[in-house]
A = this chain, B = another copy of it.
Amino acid sequence: MISQEELVVATQGRGTYDLSARVQDVVAASGIKMGMCHVFIRHTSASLMLCENADPSVRLDLETFMSKQVPDGDPMFTHTAEGPDDMPAHVRSILTQSDLNLPVSAGQCALGTWQGIYLWEHRHAPHTRHVVVTVQGE
């Protein structure tokens, strides 16, 4: 069995957006009990991550870390057509994930207790992001 659905995520600019419930809903609707759930973002300036889901300070600290590692407006970057956060958004995407593959057990993604599925918007302006969820199994 295989099932595929596209989620549309309207971001409000740089930050993290919890997709866990929406992804679990796609798995439940598929009727698949054991298999794999694949989450894929069709962009190169936003990315996905599995992150601690209990304390929001974890995601704030991740943002602080990334902002230092890949500063907006760094003069080493030449690809600046869309502004100082253009190239940093591509670098952040490369350093994190464009796709996540999650085991499905007992009809849901077998995440750990503290794992949530997040979209990380790397651009400062709001964007419409497309995420493809594919569930395969039996």
Contacts and interface: CB of A to CB of B under 8 A. Distances in A.
Interface of A: 2, 4, 34-36, 38, 40-45, 49-52, 55, 57-58, 60-62, 64-65, 68-70, 76-79, 81, 87, 90-91, 93-103, 105, 110-112, 114-115, 130, 132, 134, 136-138
B78 A60 contact: yes
A26 B10 CA distance: 33
Nearest to A104: B134
Q: How many copies does the complex hold?
A: 3
Q: Which secondary structure dominates where chain A touches chain B? A: mixed
A62 B130 CA distance: 24
Contacts of A51: 44, 90, 94
B40 A55 contact: no
